[in-house]
Amino acid sequence: MTLLAILIGTIAAGVGSVWLAALLGMAMLARYTQHMLSLAAGALMATAFMHLLPEAFESEAGAHELFAMLLAGLVFFFLLDKAELWHHGHEHHQGEGHAHEGHDHAHHDHGPRSGGWTVLAGDSVHAFGDGILIASAFMADMRLGVVAALAVLAHEVPHHMGDLVVLRHTSGTSRAALVKVSLAGTVTALGGLVGYFLLTQLQDYLPYFLVAASSSFVYVALADLIPQLQKRLSLGATVAQVAWLAVGIALVTVVSGLAH
């Protein structure tokens, strides 16, 4: 019974939060792409700095080890991003060789399209940690497990709105973005299963999962999203960028506070 409850709770939290974020955010993407990029950057940074990292540093893990993990994560996601860019550039170069059309490159080059795999990797690590948290709550008390699953669902919605913006930008379509983030969300159920069977052994490693996820969100926000917003704009457009960045931070802060 407890295992079934964990599976239902983790799937509802992991995948349900993605679909709720899609319902709230997808209608805005086409008309407000730049604003949503600002919101995504704010949501990702707030999730990392105001939710995941504080939770990791409140544990008994040493600060030196956690900062080392954060640094290693940033370097890893930088290398992952470079590999993704090389892969896309290699495919594109081959496509140009077959097409022999000079205008083809200009037609397809719409700016930075990195960050996709980095977001998915970070989401998967974060979802795995969420699954362990939900499993531990269910194993302590069934009602506490339900509350924990709802809390995870609630605080993941604004973060997933940012994910869908990034993945839509890298994948090209809203449907592909939704499928990819939903698949990453299913890792929550895997975390729940592993947590159910190996909770006592994995508890000490949870802070490192949280820091690893944080490093991916910080990297995507600062290396991929923020540079796209660094354009010479009018005063009104600049104020709008900062305002939407603040909205992303506020969304995660408020929802996380309510969830806790």
CB 187 within 8 A of CB 14: yes
Q: Which residue has the tokens 């008994």?
A: 60
Helix (H, G, I), strand (E, B) or coil at 209: helix
Chain-wide mean pLDDT for the chain?
77
Which helix (H) or strand (E) segment is 98 a member of? helix 63-99
Calpha distance 157→128 (Å, rounded): 16
Structure tokens at 225: 């999203």
Q: Give tens-digit pLDDT for 106-115.
A: 333 334 445 5
94 vs 140 pLDDT, higher one: 140
In DSSP notation, 20-70 reads HHHHHHHHHHTT-HHHHHHHHHHHHHHHIIIIIHHHHHTSSS-HHHHHHHH
CB 192 within 8 A of CB 213: no
Calpha distance 144→242 (Å, rounded): 38
Q: Which residue has the tokens 């719409």?
A: 110
pTM of the complete model: 0.64
**Whether the predicted pLDDT of 68 surpasses 80:** yes
